[in-house]
Amino acid sequence: RKEVEQDPGPFNVPEGATVAFNCTYSNSASQSFFWYRQDCRKEPKLLMSVYSSGNEDGRFTAQLNRASQYISLLIRDSKLSDSATYLCVVNRAAGNKLTFGGGTRVLVKP
Amino acid sequence: ETGVTQSPTHLIKTRGQQVTLRCSSQSGHNTVSWYQQALGQGPQFIFQYYREEENGRGNFPPRFSGLQFPNYSSELNVNALELDDSALYLCASSLGADFNSPLHFGNGTRLTVT
């Protein structure tokens, strides 16, 4: 089993709709969590950190479920510019290692 | 504020050769990490350097090595190149060694091994 797993998608989303997807992690001692966005043939860019209490940044909401070991990202009122691959990143508490998921591809269509 | 810069942008090498990739960190950042991203996959953590010392390593063989310099710039060296080493190599800088800080990525070096 991979340490961090994501549904590769693509999630085809009508413009203005809501889309949500999860990222599961296997190490229960994982310490910190992030969502990054990567456009085609570009470098990843931080979208948001994921806090235990959940957090929101505009149209984006991130949640952490430690009991079930997953994080989620919800995008409301999807824009064409939200089309990208969304990478989840998990910091394992021991061993000093960051693990990226394989990414979830989102395609927002008019 | 100067962002993360990587050189070269593209490189073609032959199997068995050695390669050195370079990265300048964002101003004010003291930590550099390197990632390998194969097509269609997420980045794989290679290692991280903090204050010129390696302080974390992923599942990569010893032929992947690195350096960090006093100005916090960094090099990734790969010896005895294999075809599977063909990938996008990303460098990221951050502040602090605790793996909790946001990463700022460079544009990457695309390495092709033939």
Assigned token pair, B76: 């990734």
Q: Are the Cβ atoms of B108 and A43 closer than 8 angstroms?
A: yes
Percent of chain B exceeding pLDDT 90 equals 86
Report pLDDT for B100: 80
pLDDT tens column, B26-82: 988 999 999 999 999 999 999 999 989 998 899 999 999 999 999 999 999 999 999
SS (H, E, C) chain B: CCCCEEECCEEEECCCCCEEEEEECCCCCCEEEEEEECCCCCCEEEEEEECCEEEEECCCCCCEEEEECCCCCEEEEECCCCHHHCEEEEEEEECCCCCCCCCEECCCEEEEEC
Among chain A residues, CA nearest to B55: A96
Q: Are the Cβ atoms of A97 and B41 closer than 8 angstroms?
A: no
* A-chain residues near B105 (CB < 8 A): 43-45
Q: Which residue has the tokens 């990843």?
A: A44
Q: Distances from the Cα of B92 to the Cαs of A51, A106, B29, B50, B69, in angstroms?
A: 22, 24, 10, 12, 15
Report pLDDT for A2: 83
- A1 vs A6: CA distance, rounded Å: 12
Asked if pLDDT for residue B21 goes beyond 70, the answer is: yes
Q: Chain A contact for B9, CB < 8 A? A: no
Candidate from A32, A46, A96 with C-beta closest to B48: A96
Report pLDDT for A29: 85
Report pLDDT for B11: 96
Report pLDDT for A97: 78
* B-chain residues near A23 (CB < 8 A): none
> How many helices, marked H, and strands, marked E, lie in chain A?
0, 11
Q: Are the Cβ atoms of B42 and A103 closer than 8 angstroms?
A: yes
Positions in chain A whose pLDDT score sits under 70 = 93-96
Candidate from B58, B102, B107 with C-beta closest to A97: B58
Q: Which residue has the tokens 């800080």?
A: B101
Report pLDDT for A98: 85
B33 Cα distance to chain centroid: 6
Report pLDDT for B98: 77
Candidate from B33, B90, B100 with C-beta closest to A43: B90
- A62 vs A39: CA distance, rounded Å: 19
Percent of chain B exceeding pLDDT 70 equals 98
- A93 vs B109: CA distance, rounded Å: 29
Report pLDDT for A31: 83
Report pLDDT for A94: 63
Q: Chain A contact for B33, CB < 8 A? A: yes
Can you say whether the dihedral through the CA atoms of B87, B111, A39, B28 is positive or negative?
A: positive
- Shortest distance between the Cα of A89 and any Cα of chain B, in A, equals 10
Asked if pLDDT for residue B1 goes beyond 60, the answer is: no
Report pLDDT for A27: 87
